[in-house]
A and B are shown apart, each in its own frame.
Chain A
Amino acid sequence: MNAKNKEHFADRAMAARAIKDSFIKLSPRTQMKNPVMFLVYVSSILTTALFVFALFGLRDENPGFILGITIILWLTVLFANFAEAIAEGRGKAQADSLRAARKDVAANKIPSPEEKEKITVVPSATLKKGDLVVVRAGEQIPADGDVIEGAASVDESAITGESAPVIRESGGDRSAVTGGTTVISDWLTIRVTSEEGESFLDKMIAMVEGADRKKTPNEIALQILLVALTIIFLLVTVSLYAYSLFSAGQAGIESPTSVTALVALLVCLAPTTIGALLSAIGIAGMSRLNQANVLAMSGRAIEAAGDVDILMLDKTGTITLGNRQACAFLPVDGASERELADAAQFASLADETPEGRSVVVLAKERFNIRQREMSDSDMEFVPFSAKTRMSGVNIGSVEIRKGAADTIREYVLKGGGKYSRECEEIVKKISNQGGTPLVVAKDLRVLGVIHLKDIIKQGIQEKFADLRRMGIKTIMITGDNPLTAAAIAAEAGVDDFLAEATPEGKLAMIRQFQSQGHLVAMTGDGTNDAPALAQADVAVAMNTGTQAAKEAGNMVDLDSSPTKLIEVVRIGKQLLMTRGSLTTFSIANDLAKYFAIIPALFIGLYPGLSALNIMGLQSPQSAIFSAIIYNALIIVALIPLALKGVRYREVSAGRLLSHNLLVYGLGGVIVPFAALKVIDVIITTLGIV
């Protein structure tokens, strides 16, 4: 393969590094970890020895033939090493840049939050759990920790790659900071939560580099199958040696099979294609996840993602845009729509929330009511408070209020006003449609209702339909009341919803699904999400979330995007599919190899067997060479597929299977027949054999 081809999945430097690594990986200790390739390794050593013996006259075959086989066997080993090395390459490059962020910095250690002046400057490596440090603008945060005092904007691009700074502040769900990130403005007091060597950054480096990559159960199970097949093929070739002696003895001729030819047959039959690419597939899956800016705490978690059949998704941000928008003014009790719009706009002037803005905008759009200067009259704004649960404005003696229906009702009735049945009905109707009603009152007279609507993200329905076809159920989690939730759920096309969700409710729901045999995935960020995250089979914690949430989850989403879960599932499935498809391909290949090698070996004994040489290969030697060359080249040819993963579509399991069987099963049977013929023609034309 030429350099131009490699650039499709790696750059030149990476390739150079991978080639170097391919040779380093020749150490027996590394080879032993992969039983199938270890067999090829041992076979290479064996034929090398046979070649040396042949030079000294102890001939198994003619030395040129043995040398040829030996070279190709060693290339096969190197190609497998290269596949693994190139897969590791991307992770290694990422790890290098992360290591740059992990440099030792000076930390401003303080004895207590009250004594911020008593700073002792210590190296960050010496910090212990529970130590307090102060970090000021421009300084790097020395270790993972929780913010206990202050608020600051932090540049986390070193780990997330996202250049826009994020806010970190004490208390709440945004208190976690990561060592290696930089404070841009203001200052923070941080309680250190992890020590040198076990920080988030350390874990991240280990993960992307695959240093402590453990084989997943699924990988082990596949390896068992491959080893079992290899053992069978070992017995097939050894017994074939015996059969050959026996049959030749019966015919009174010398046995036609040499050890070298049988070793070549063994290596061809053993599932070397998948054996060589197996670890590359696993590493590449992890790497794809990293590219999606998700960090898995184990390879197991990615595979579990492929199995997930329930997704619990937060409504806000995933299903709907983060904010609601006013979409209609519905006047009641004889008030005009314009009157209502006017009052609503007044009440929302000081309201900086997206909802408040949208009221102002809607009034402008519908009645061209211009935005008024807030300072020009004697307006006194009443901000929203948890106690009154209303907001509004007093203009002179005129009192305008807007708020939730029950709050306004209470306020109006208390003041001696009227709350009509018509208003009640409109409020109910909006709720039923999944909207949020805001009632507006002017001087204790109810003018009407603003319809705030959740905006469903574009294309989300199709996404859920795709998921359903794959057999994945989506559950919407929302704090809304059941009526609103049901309406949004219906519009977005989710399968079910959990309304008025509490952390306990989520946990109970996960447990219930799991007891029915489902595998549940969820995302979460808050500390109170931690129990549910710990319970879920796949739990993606937001990087913006708390330390507790991050520890409870088995993946961290550095982008903190709630839709990431769908991406994670896709990567998990793709990983397993790649493994299965290449295994099928590898085993299906054996048929053609048999048709090449068996007639080649026994044509002298039973000339009739030449009928099995359906590819019409030129000579027994060229047949064996073609098979073994194909066997080596197919590894290289499939490296891009192993790294990118097989194409994944959102269809049912049955359709996915028939498609992949057709491509990799049938393709695996046909491709080698054609390829062997081509190689045979090339090597005989070039006069190599």
Chain B
Amino acid sequence: MTQTVLQYVLYLAVLVALAVPLGTYMGKVMNGERVFLTRLLAPCENLVYRMMGVDRDEQMSWKKYAASAVMFSVICFIGLFLILMCQGVLPLNPEELPGLSWHLAFNTAASFVTNTNWQAYSGEVTLSYLSQMAGLTVQNFVSASVGIAVLFALIRGFIKVKDKGIGSFWVDLTKTVLYIMLPLCLILAVGLVSQGVPQNFSEYKEAALLEPITADDGTVVTEQAVPLGPAASQVAPKQAGTNGGGYYGVNSAHPMENPTPFSNLLEMISLLLIPAALCFTFGRNIKDKKQGIAIFLAMFLMLCAFLAVTAVNEQLGTPQLSQNGAVNIENTPEQSGGNMEGKESRFGIAASSTWAVFTTAASNGSVNSMHDSYTPLGGLATMLQMQLGEVVFGGVGCGLYGMIGFAILTVFIAGLMVGRTPEYLGKKIEPFEMRMATLVCLATPLGILVGSGIAALIPEVAASLNNPGAHGFSELLYAYSSAGGNNGSAFAGFNANTPFLNTSIGLVMLFVRFLPMIATLAIAGSMAQKKKVAVSAGTLPTHNALFVFLLIFVVLLIGALSFFPALALGPVAEFFQMIS
């Protein structure tokens, strides 16, 4: 048991140890300060600007910044949609896979452009190498970078005083891709290849099975197709950019997407690395490190709490499993014990639970175990993290700007309670900021409630469920929570590839991505124009323990108030059924 606990502590410690220096590095990149890669990358950067005709000193208004970000995403969306529809006639398609249906192409394009990576398909039997590489991998890089760019703009909004501009979207995007995403993913991809993740263009290989399998209809299977392709290069940004769309259908539970414990560690840490590091970037660049640490701690404590819930529940298993000694769920040196349904035995409870909590915290959505098979409360923790709006670290960039939206709400209520019109980081919170902050914070509940509410009324949706009753409802709720948090993971039992589900989930993903993004930029623009209020003893401190707990409280409260009834009908009802 001690060993298992140590394993959790190790994962968290490695994460924090790497996040701090990366945060500083990214802060320098944002400001255009010199870093060790500058000499190498500056010429490329300049070339990009020259080719695209970008004025590197431009200071865009928030509207122009938002228009650029949205326009860029629209173009990405159209490009990806066309590639997916036409992959049958495009090159790099050795398996001769046909083009996707319009609704699956729409869903997939929306999913990857919004950094969600919800997958209503299985990669190895649906997508060509070109679609995977030129389509999805490219989005893995740029959709993540758009999130980081918007965060940079917001940070500038806090720094600037009586100014209109919040930086140039094109410069932020280019810098993020070149200086942050590419080097990090390169290291990661090489690491993964060293562990055995494929990186080639070869056809699928046939391999003889060591042990023949007899199928239900009596046929004996002796051979298996081994899917190959440019996997490592897609898996790296999938993890680092909180994308989560697996190269293979079962994502990082697939032995070729995640072959060894070391590859598992690499993928799991890289999953939360940038979102965690950005907190330190934030503190560094607003020149008040304590503020960044406070936000980090709020996220980190929530992560630990959710991890504890999932880990304990998975370790305890269910009364049904241990009934009459049906399954030995004891934790021994030989086995991890607990609820191993849907988990890889090579990872065990600790690595699976940690991954499940990290991936739903980080709006990543990649999995190394099947969340559908988690215990009711273990599954609830993963679902709730998405429903909170993906602010427990959340997606790269968007997680932090979502959390800053919550910080604004917190400051507003708390500020009133100390008798001052509220301010955050020296900027007064007025009706405009409140309007935008509520859009940032409430887009997720809005998207999830409307989406799942409508879906619950559509008779055909019931046919997509893998289970009846409360668990079936959880599957439905999970699907929309995943879309509404831009997460992308799934309760695996749910068959999502239907016109209605593809379209509605696609629309929810687009809504919860772009509404908060535009609202965040509006806050940035408005903050930049404000003067900075002087700090005094009457100012509400936003970097102490009290504020951290208050922030956590507000996040949990809004989540709980929005989803208490839904969770009561899903995992909570299931839990009481389980123990009764």
- Given A309-B536, A517-B533, A598-B568, the answer on whether A664 and B417 have CB atoms closer than 8 Å is yes
Contact yes or no, B449 A580, CB < 8 A = no
Contact yes or no, A306 B534, CB < 8 A = no
Chain A residue contacts of B568, Cβ below 8 A: 598, 602, 609, 612
**Complexed CA–CA distance, A240 and B472 (Å):** 16
- For the complex, is A211 an interface residue (Cβ under 8 Å from B)? no
Interface residues of B in 415-455 (CB under 8 A from A): 415-421, 426, 429-431, 433-435, 438, 442, 445-446, 449-450, 452-454
- Given A224-B434, A242-B453, the answer on whether A602 and B569 have CB atoms closer than 8 Å is yes
Contact yes or no, B421 A235, CB < 8 A = no
Q: Which of B429, B473, B538, B540 counts the most chain A CB atoms within 10 A?
A: B538
Q: A-facing mask of B552-567, CB < 8 A → 1, else 0?
A: 0100011011101110
Q: How many A-B residue pairs have CB under 8 A?
A: 216
- Given A247-B569, A517-B426, the answer on whether A590 and B561 have CB atoms closer than 8 Å is yes
With both chains docked as a complex, state the minimum distance between the C-beta of B551 and any C-beta of chain A, in angstroms. Answer: 13
In this complex, what residue of B is CB-closest to A595? B564
- Given A243-B566, A576-B416, A602-B569, the answer on whether A221 and B536 have CB atoms closer than 8 Å is no
Contact yes or no, B421 A307, CB < 8 A = yes
With both chains docked as a complex, state the minimum distance between the C-beta of B411 and any C-beta of chain A, in angstroms. Answer: 11
Contact yes or no, B416 A247, CB < 8 A = no
With both chains docked as a complex, state the minimum distance between the C-beta of B523 and any C-beta of chain A, in angstroms. Answer: 13
Contact yes or no, B420 A653, CB < 8 A = yes
- For the complex, is A451 an interface residue (Cβ under 8 Å from B)? no
**Complexed CA–CA distance, A228 and B476 (Å):** 25
Cross-interface CB contact of B416 among A222, A231, A609, cutoff 8 Å: A222
- For the complex, is B541 an interface residue (Cβ under 8 Å from A)? yes
With both chains docked as a complex, state the minimum distance between the C-beta of A201 and any C-beta of chain B, in angstroms. Answer: 31
Contact yes or no, A221 B431, CB < 8 A = yes
Chain B residue contacts of A609, Cβ below 8 A: 568, 572-573, 576
Contact yes or no, A657 B438, CB < 8 A = no
Contact yes or no, B532 A517, CB < 8 A = yes
- Given A225-B434, A250-B473, the answer on whether A239 and B453 have CB atoms closer than 8 Å is yes
Binds B, one of A364-372, A423-431, A469-477: A469-477
Contact yes or no, A244 B569, CB < 8 A = yes
Q: Contact size class for B? A: 35 or more
With both chains docked as a complex, state the minimum distance between the C-beta of A89 and any C-beta of chain B, in angstroms. Answer: 25
With both chains docked as a complex, state the minimum distance between the C-beta of B53 and any C-beta of chain A, in angstroms. Answer: 39
Q: Which of B433, B546, B569, B572 counts the most chain A CB atoms within 10 A?
A: B569
Contact yes or no, A242 B454, CB < 8 A = yes
**Complexed CA–CA distance, A656 and B417 (Å):** 8
Interface residues of A in 219-239 (CB under 8 A from B): 220-222, 224-225, 228-229, 231-233, 235-236, 238-239
- For the complex, is A574 an interface residue (Cβ under 8 Å from B)? yes
- Given A606-B470, A609-B576, A653-B537, the answer on whether A242 and B456 have CB atoms closer than 8 Å is yes
**Complexed CA–CA distance, A400 and B191 (Å):** 101
Q: A-facing mask of B524-550, CB < 8 A → 1, else 0?
A: 000000011110111111001010001
Cross-interface CB contact of B538 among A236, A309, A583, A611, cutoff 8 Å: A309
In this complex, what residue of A is CB-closest to B550? A661
With both chains docked as a complex, state the minimum distance between the C-beta of B442 and any C-beta of chain A, in angstroms. Answer: 5
**Complexed CA–CA distance, A652 and B546 (Å):** 14
Contact yes or no, A225 B438, CB < 8 A = yes
**Complexed CA–CA distance, A683 and B307 (Å):** 43
- Given A221-B412, A232-B562, A517-B426, the answer on whether A654 and B546 have CB atoms closer than 8 Å is yes
Chain B: residues with CB nearer than 8 A to chain A? 409, 412-421, 426, 429-431, 433-435, 438, 442, 445-446, 449-450, 452-454, 456-457, 462, 468-470, 472-473, 476, 531-534, 536-541, 544, 546, 550, 553, 557-558, 560-562, 564-566, 568-569, 572-573, 575-577, 579-580
Chain A: residues with CB nearer than 8 A to chain B? 217-218, 220-222, 224-225, 228-229, 231-233, 235-236, 238-247, 249-251, 269, 303-304, 306-307, 309, 468-473, 516-519, 572-577, 579-581, 583-584, 587-588, 590-591, 594, 598, 602, 605-609, 611-612, 648, 652-654, 656-658, 660-661, 664-665
9 CB < 8 A contacts A-B: A221-B434, A233-B561, A307-B421, A591-B560, A594-B564, A606-B573, A653-B420, A653-B541, A664-B417
6 additional A-B pairs beyond A232-B558, A580-B418, beta carbons within 8 Å, are A236-B561, A236-B562, A239-B456, A576-B419, A584-B413, A609-B576
